[in-house]
């Protein structure tokens, strides 16, 4: 099979932009938006948790579905396309609630269910489509890097556009306009992926809906190793993401620069991905990812030492750690595609089942990060908005993730989950 052309890679990557752009408005803006409409904050929190639990339960089942959509109906591309109206409707409903507070909680819950289920179905089928596209070890990294770059562009768009629209037209009207503009962007990008992206690989010819197939990836020892490393590394990355607003406001005392710091981080991540692709092609994906973890710790640990007004120093931390973050976007999913090769048989590849669990691990990392960092800060006496000498915030924001990242690096060094086609991590490969 010839390597993917640049045009085909761009077409495949297109759908990643709107899928990533949905995250910030849903996770960041929606709670504040509904609180402003009079909904109790505690109730919003309960609804978000309840819908997230439902969403997490559905991911493995959606993975099974992605493997079982008949090819005559379009296979995984059909599932990706079918998710578009669900996501678009959910986004429109979420930011266009009925007037008055009656039924607002129900409206929020139903809107979130549509958005979450639609995004999960789209992401799982989309990732599975890319995983099955190529059998070449290095080409898979190009595919995941292209997808990661488009996703970062979506994150930047979602960070900038709602904020600009809110300043121009007010918060409620701005978010409403964003949700209206989002729908045609989603339709166009997914259509580009479906029509001009990779040829749909045949879905696995498995018996329909055996629930034990949800656990099939857990019988693959390489997947278990990779999943454990991915989860621990994901927690390390999610803790700073959870606490960055507090850190910039209470440690650096420059909350107005938060958007700039985030932009530097994500732009550096996109800029770093081509380099990690080349390093992975030369030295192997596990070696490249291990190097990125070590460099991330070496760069991010300096945030522990910073204080009020250290803007330039923290900007450098964002750039350097962002460059290392590019490896997280390009390499783990590519390694997962290699690992699925171990489970490929005459009936096909169960990419959907694997990415259903993978998607669940991403959400679990976010939940574990919040569940670990926020209570720990409270126990250590941190109060948001109160600037105090000897605050626990730098310890939890900077030092804790570095320790966890080093644990992930050690796991990767000892349990390299590279595929049988890869360069070994060490001369005496521990596989």
List pLDDT tens digits, range 106-139: 999 999 899 989 999 999 999 888 887 777 777 8
CB 88 within 8 A of CB 49: no
What is the pLDDT at residue 200?
A: 56
CB 343 within 8 A of CB 220: yes
* Helical packing angle, 258-283 and 311-330, nearest 10°: 40
Gap between the terminal Cα atoms of the chain:
28
Say whether pLDDT at 55 is over 90.
no
pLDDT digits (tens, 9 = 90+) for 418-427: 544 555 444 3
- Domain extents in the chain: 13-203, 218-425
Say whether pLDDT at 36 is over 70.
yes
Nearest to 393 by CA among 265, 260, 262, 240: 240
- Output 1 or 385, whichever has higher pLDDT: 385
Say whether pLDDT at 171 is over 70.
yes
What is the pLDDT at residue 383?
A: 77
Given this structure, which CATH class describes domain 13-203?
A: mainly alpha
Instruction: Say if 13-203 and 218-425 have the same CATH topology.
Output: yes
Q: Over the chain, what is the mean pLDDT? A: 84
Count of beta carbons in the 10 Å neighbourhood of residue 177: 17
Per-residue pLDDT band for 417 (boundaries 50, 70, 90) equals low
Q: What is the pTM of this model?
A: 0.79
Say whether pLDDT at 227 is over 50.
yes
What is the pLDDT at residue 101?
A: 63
CATH number of 218-425: 1.20.1250.20
Say whether pLDDT at 356 is over 90.
no
User: Which range in 5-14, 256-265, 289-298, 330-339 is most confidently predicted, on average pLDDT?
Assistant: 289-298
What is the pLDDT at residue 324?
A: 95
């Amino acid at each position: 099979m010839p390597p993917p052309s640049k045009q085909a890679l761009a077409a495949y990557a297109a759908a990643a932009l709107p899928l990533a752009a949905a995250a910030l408005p849903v996770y960041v803006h929606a709670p504040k938006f509904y609180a402003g409409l009079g909904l109790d904050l505690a109730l919003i929190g309960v609804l978000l948790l309840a819908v997230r639990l439902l969403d997490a339960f559905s991911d493995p089942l959606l993975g099974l579905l992605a493997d079982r959509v008949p090819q005559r109906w379009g296979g995984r591309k059909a599932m990706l396309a079918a998710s578009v109206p669900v996501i678009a409707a959910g986004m429109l409903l979420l930011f266009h609630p009925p007037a008055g507070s009656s039924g607002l909680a129900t409206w929020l819950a139903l809107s979130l269910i549509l958005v979450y289920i639609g995004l999960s179905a789209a992401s799982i089928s989309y990732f599975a489509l890319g995983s099955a596209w190529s059998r070449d070890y290095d080409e898979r990294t190009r595919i995941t890097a292209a997808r990661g770059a488009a996703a970062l562009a979506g994150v930047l768009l979602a960070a900038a556009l709602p904020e600009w629209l809110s300043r121009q037209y007010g918060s409620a009207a701005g978010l409403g306009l964003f949700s209206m503009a989002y729908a045609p962007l989603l339709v166009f990008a997914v259509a580009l992926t479906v029509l001009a992206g990779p040829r749909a690989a045949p879905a696995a010819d498995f018996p329909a809906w055996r629930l034990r197939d949800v656990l099939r990836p857990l019988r693959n020892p390489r997947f278990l190793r990779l999943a454990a490393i991915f989860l621990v590394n994901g927690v390390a990355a999610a803790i700073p993401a959870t606490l960055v607003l507090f850190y910039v406001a209470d440690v650096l005392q420059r909350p107005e620069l938060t958007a700039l710091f985030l932009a530097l981080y994500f732009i550096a991540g996109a800029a770093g991905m081509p380099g990690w692709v080349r390093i992975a092609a030369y030295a192997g994906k596990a070696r490249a990812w291990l190097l990125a973890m070590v460099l991330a710790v070496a760069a991010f640990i300096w945030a522990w030492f910073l204080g009020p007004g250290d803007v330039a120093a923290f900007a450098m931390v964002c750039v350097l750690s962002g460059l290392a973050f590019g490896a997280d976007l390009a390499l783990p999913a590519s390694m997962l595609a290699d690992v699925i090769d171990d489970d490929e048989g005459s009936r096909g590849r169960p990419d959907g089942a694997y990415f259903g669990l993978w998607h669940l691990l991403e959400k679990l990392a976010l939940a574990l990060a919040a569940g670990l960092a926020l209570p720990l800060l409270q126990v250590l006496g941190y109060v948001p908005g109160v600037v105090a000498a000897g605050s626990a915030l730098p310890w939890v924001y900077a030092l804790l993730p570095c320790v966890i990242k080093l644990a992930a690096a050690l796991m990767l060094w000892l349990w390299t989950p590279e595929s049988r086609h890869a360069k070994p991590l060490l001369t005496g490969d521990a596989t």
